[in-house]
A and B are shown apart, each in its own frame.
Chain A
């Protein structure tokens, strides 16, 4: 109830700002698929959507944007490979209790709420977007872990994860402090919140459909989720962290050609992407955890994208992308009570994407990847692939 009141107070305070438009617009930004086996994999279950409005905060500048995003999803998830009690990582080389019974799966219901106020300054080289934008945001997320849906499908598969055969909470989910997975403590209802400030720099211009650009783009973000920000539960924080993140991306057009109506015929460009991030703090919420729970991450990606002609409508097109990604993960393990495990790992992969967008409404994507270096995982280079169909509306 306190959280509800706090959210309403934040909303109320923001609505008191002078408004040039009193009505929100809305967009559905993604529809996720449901748990395994739901509707033959064709029916969506889970949606993210956003409301926004524009506010004239400083008359000489562009209007600010107040953006509210809400999402929910339901999925089946496998329990982490880390020690739930101590957070000892699976790659420590020491025995780790995985607390896994049956197939180790549980049902995860999740919702989130994100509110930011963004103000643009200056004018980018495209003459339309601001040169830089500052965003101040607040994010809160809820997740609830329940026994797997598969548990109640057959008497023979009754192997609950969180309770014992008599329905009582099983160790370590019986109130034991879980440094490794604090979101699975107690009732397994977990809220975590953070604030963020993001700075976006825009030196790029669009050269056609398919997110084709020429120029450069950069952003720097600081996320801060201290324990006093609604992050205290069961006597220990469910979140207490800070994250610094910097992203830079550059684009060089190789060739581009247009149809008579201004639509794209073909477009080929080279892109280069860098991301550097580091996470501080004793307790990091699940959506912020890096691969292998390492605090530092550096990504370098070089790619080439060929965008085909727009057909039927401006938002109908395909693109093919080939990329080479190198990733360095480093530092201490997160959510580890001993704070004594550290590692450095290198991953690299060659990948390809086939993307089809229909009417701005449907996105079909097929990805393949050849992983050459797999960091701490003792596996050989291998191929993998996946495909997805998503409903998506962007404004």
Chain B
């Protein structure tokens, strides 16, 4: 039945009048433990079906987006009882690996085309989404150094989590595979003019995701609802340009404020990602996040998208409401934050070489502050 439904989704995703496809590689990610973080470990790509614009000049779109690969994840709560590890520290490693596939078939319609941004002021989007995950031990497990301790397996190779409920990590129950499907609705108000080295305007988006256990294809491990809203403000107070329009130097200020509400008996980890650099806020029903950055763009050389930039950024998140995936659901009021510098070099729009260094304040459940750094190459087009 599941195979039939999946094939049906595939078939529905093929409009009969399609002559050719547009497609994009939206993002390519790396993992430090795989190929020294140089070659890709996951990729997001999208196929655009050629559909006519129903309200021209506003855009109409029908697309199929697929995100697949491998990623590392850290277990935040004890799967057996939902206790936060930050409150109840353990000695065993909490990192594990996830192979995943995330698909999204979505329709979007724009309204009120704007000359200022060359985009639609309002865009509404409706999607059917699904995510398959398979979790296993970290890649370094059993690498030959005598270390037998895993997350799911103890040193003497007995299963660590024997509970059949897996309240703290519903996606890891049973054979540690998950197939979750959901419907997602998004409303976006875009009054932001974006160029490579300049941004001015306001962007607001609000996304609703509903994943009840009765969704088709779902393996019923997850049951949740999220509502996430984000307001972005950008302003370019200074831009020094050459005669050919290329930038010599520009300064951009960005401020993002977002709020996420999550309700449900079993909320999977993928639905609770947070954008705080260097750390993660505890799982809670409400999360308020703030990201502020001041970016100095250097000269555009051979191309518009070949330039350096340096940013100073501050991230802050406040988790409140009540604990998710927990048997007692007690109240939460915890905050995390980080600040630092980021240096990037954009390579012709296909990639970015970056280095970030900063300090993380993780007072969440009284943990100490620490310094962190990261570097690598990210690819996108």
Contacts and interface: CB of A to CB of B under 8 A. Distances in A.
Q: Do A and B bind each other?
A: yes
A155 interface: yes
Contact of A315 (B7, B16, B20): B20
Q: Which of A19, A39, A113 has the most chain B CB atoms inside 10 A of its CB? A: A39
Contact of A35 (B45, B99, B305, B348): B99
A98 to B, nearest CB: 19
Interface in A150-180: 151-153, 155, 158, 160, 162-163, 166-170, 173-174
A359 B348 contact: no
Interface residues of A, number: 72
Given A40-B2, A72-B41, A361-B47, A22 B146 contact: no
Interface string A103-117: 000000101110000
B144 A39 contact: no
A40 B3 contact: yes
Contact of A39 (B132, B175, B379): B132
B36 A74 contact: no
A358 to B, nearest CB: 7
Nearest to A314: B19
B67 to A, nearest CB: 10
Interface stretch (B119-127, B133-141, B288-296): B133-141
Interface string B353-379: 100000000000000000000000101
B357 to A, nearest CB: 16
A15 B19 CA distance: 34
B101 A163 contact: no
Interface in A121-168: 142, 144, 146-147, 149, 151-153, 155, 158, 160, 162-163, 166-168
B70 A19 contact: no
A42 B302 contact: no
A294 to B, nearest CB: 30
B379 A45 contact: no
Nearest to B138: A146
A313 interface: yes
A5 B9 CA distance: 43
Contacts of A26: 23-25, 350, 381
A39 B101 contact: yes
A23 B3 contact: no
Contact of A28 (B2, B23, B39): B23
A72 B40 contact: yes
A86 to B, nearest CB: 21
A166 B146 contact: yes
Contact of A38 (B134, B150, B302, B303): B134
Given A15-B302, A313-B18, A42 B24 contact: no
Contact of B302 (A22, A142, A188): A22
B34 A144 contact: yes
A58 to B, nearest CB: 20
A44 interface: yes
B349 interface: yes
Interface centre among A312, A359, A393 (most CB of B within 10 A): A359
A299 interface: no
A4 B347 CA distance: 15
Contacts of B155: 167
A314 B158 CA distance: 57
B136 A44 contact: no
B51 interface: no
Given A49-B43, A393-B23, A169 B144 contact: yes
B69 interface: yes
Contact of A155 (B28, B142, B157): B157
B381 A24 contact: yes
B302 A111 contact: no
Interface string A25-57: 011100100110011101111110101000000
Contact of A111 (B14, B25, B34, B305): B34
Interface in B22-63: 23-25, 28, 34-43, 45, 47
A101 B233 CA distance: 59
A35 to B, nearest CB: 7
A77 to B, nearest CB: 15
B47 to A, nearest CB: 6
Q: Which of B18, B41, B145, B306 has the most CB of A within 10 A?
A: B18
Given A49-B25, A51-B381, A153-B175, A42 B43 contact: no
Contact of B349 (A23, A35, A142, A147): A23
A43 B39 contact: no
Nearest to B159: A155
A3 B39 CA distance: 11
Given A111-B34, A166-B148, A315-B20, A28 B139 contact: no
Given A23-B348, A28-B25, A152-B153, A42 B6 contact: yes
B346 to A, nearest CB: 12
Given A24-B348, A174-B144, A4 B66 contact: no
Interface string A353-386: 0000011111000000000000000000000000
Contacts of A39: 101, 132, 134, 179
B141 to A, nearest CB: 7
A47 B20 contact: no
A1 interface: yes
Given A23-B348, A28-B45, A162 B142 contact: yes
Given A24-B348, A152-B153, A358-B14, A49 B68 contact: no
Interface of A: 1, 3-4, 7-8, 11, 15-16, 19, 22-24, 26-28, 31, 34-35, 38-40, 42-47, 49, 51, 68, 70, 72, 74, 109, 111-113, 142, 144, 146-147, 149, 151-153, 155, 158, 160, 162-163, 166-170, 173-174, 187-189, 191, 312-315, 358-362, 391, 393
19 contacts: A15-B347, A22-B305, A26-B350, A31-B66, A38-B134, A42-B7, A44-B68, A70-B28, A72-B39, A112-B39, A113-B39, A144-B139, A152-B152, A163-B142, A166-B146, A167-B147, A167-B148, A313-B18, A359-B18
Interface of B: 2-3, 6-7, 10, 14, 16-21, 23-25, 28, 34-43, 45, 47, 66, 68-70, 99, 101, 132, 134, 136-137, 139, 141-148, 150, 152-153, 155, 157-159, 175, 179, 302-306, 347-350, 353, 377, 379, 381
